[in-house]
Amino acid sequence: MTYLHYQYCVSDFVIADEYKKEYFTEKIDSDYQVPFSNIKHSTNANLKSLEGTPRRIFVPKDEIIKYINGDKAFFTYNPLSDTPEIYLELSKIVIFDERSLMKFIKKYGLPYNLEQPKPGSGLFESELFRKNDKEKFLLGMDVLRFYEKLIKLKNVFKIWHAIQENDLKQLNEYREEFRFYAEYYETYSAAYIDELSIDDFAEVVFNDAGFLYKGGEIRHVLDEFKKDKNKIFHLKDKASEIQETWKQVKNSSKPKTIASAYLQLKLKDIDSGITATRFMNGKIIPAISFSNLMEVGGYQLKQAIFKNKKLEQCLNCGALFEKSHGLRKFCPPVMGNKRSTCENTYNQRLKRLRKKSESEEN
């Protein structure tokens, strides 16, 4: 089977030598309350307040000027060929752990490009240069917005990994989660209608179904539906992909199949770049364009799912990596290195152990 696979990425990503951080103070802007409680809810993080955690990470002014003027050589890399497993690196970042985030940024640069320069100022895309596709330099990142994206990527990764490992306990949990969301309306619709009038309920369903304008024929369709409760429920079912998908698989005896259907719905949560073109050797060729590393990770993760890639655990650190050929037992080498750091560490530890046991024998 062939899959839509793009060999070329339009732009290289740039890494700065220095990144600065701005921390939350005791006065937390109201913009951050909702993302904070959402993130806490989905990670079970035991963090009482944002105070003292980084709000924004950014490239300092002097670095940007040096880049624009060409005063300094910046490290750049191609995210498809130089970092083929960046989705695994991203999924290692621990939410609210500044050290693990900075470790990633030092190696790969900022993973995300939405920033809020000042609290209350609104979110902006922060990359240089948007209209020149040759290089992408991400200048600033709002940490909470990044975490929101990261949680979705990690979640997709976890479901996929549970399917790969045939982890029945996890797979059953996903089945229950899937059922909960799919049957939510059936379970609560009676109470819902009690609260609202049938007219209001029809309006809500029409909105959910994506009929955002109420002019023209849709106005008349809505009036028809307001007369008949069953019609509204029918529309509700038809418009909901989660309900439709659940109906397809709910009687399946294979936990993997049910989890795969659920995973497919979750894949919609992650961005994975857009198709583009590149001019090479006198010809126009297909390529892919990414705005940030989250899109690169999303693209790679989808490719890994399509190709049913197998993951293996590193002998040294326990992290997961893609099994490419049978011989590899360690994390891949860090970009720019030939040897794997984990392999080196592991071999040195073995050597030390051997020496130690030899001297004990003597």
Binding site for Zn ion (CB under 5 A): 314, 316-317, 319, 331, 342
* Closest approach of Zn ion to the CB of residue 326, in Å: 17
Nearest approach, Cβ of residue 166 and Zn ion (Å): 24
Least distance from Zn ion to the Cβ atom of residue 250, Å: 40
Q: How far is the CB of 338 from Zn ion (least distance, A)?
A: 16
DSSP calls for 304-339: HHHTT--EEE-TTT--EEE--STT--SPPPPTT-SS
Strands 127-128 and 135-138: antiparallel
113 vs 316, which CB is nearer to Zn ion? 316
Beta carbon of residue 161, minimum distance to Zn ion (angstroms, whole number): 16
In the complex, the smallest distance separating the C-beta of residue 317 from Zn ion, rounded to whole angstroms, is 3
Shortest Cβ 321–Zn ion spacing (Å): 7
Element (H, E) at 105: helix 98-108
**Judged by CB, which is closer to Zn ion: 219, or 339?**
339
The residue among 93 and 314 lying less far from Zn ion, judged by its C-beta, is 314
What's the rounded Cα separation, in Å, for the pair 110 and 16?
A: 9
**What b/e sequence results for 325-361 when a residue is b if at least 16 CB atoms lie within 10 Å of its CB, and e otherwise?**
eeebbbbbeeeeeeebebbeebeeeeeeeeeeeeeee
Residue with smaller CB distance to Zn ion, 9 or 331: 331
Which of 119, 333 has the CB closer to Zn ion?
Answer: 333
Q: Which residues contact 53 (CB under 8 A, 6 or more apart)?
A: 23, 24, 47, 96, 98, 143
Distance CA 38, CA 51 (A): 17
**Are the beta carbons of 320 and 313 closer than 8 angstroms?**
yes
Closer residue to Zn ion (CB): 179 or 329: 329
CB nearer Zn ion, residue 229 or residue 328: 328
Q: Which is nearer to Zn ion, 168 or 315 (CB)?
A: 315
| Between 184 and 346, CB nearer to Zn ion | 346
Q: Are 82 and 167 in contact (CB under 8 A)?
A: no
- Give the start-end residues of each E strand in 38-144: 54-58, 75-77, 114-115, 124-125, 127-128, 135-138, 140-142
Bridge partners (DSSP) of residue 283 are 280
Q: What minimum distance in Å lies between the beta carbon of 203 and Zn ion?
A: 54
The values of phi and psi at residue 39, to 5°, are -65, -45
The residue type found at 230 is N
Phi first, then psi, for residue 197 (nearest 5°) are -80, 160
* DSSP 3-state of 39: helix
Nearer Cβ to Zn ion, position 94 or 218?
94
What is the C-alpha R_g of the chain? 25
Sign of CA dihedral 96, 97, 101, 104: negative
DSSP assignment string, 271-287 = ---EEEEEEETTEEEEE
Q: How far is the CB of 67 from Zn ion (least distance, A)?
A: 32
Smallest separation (angstroms) from Zn ion to the CB of 311: 12
3-state SS assignment for residue 196:
coil
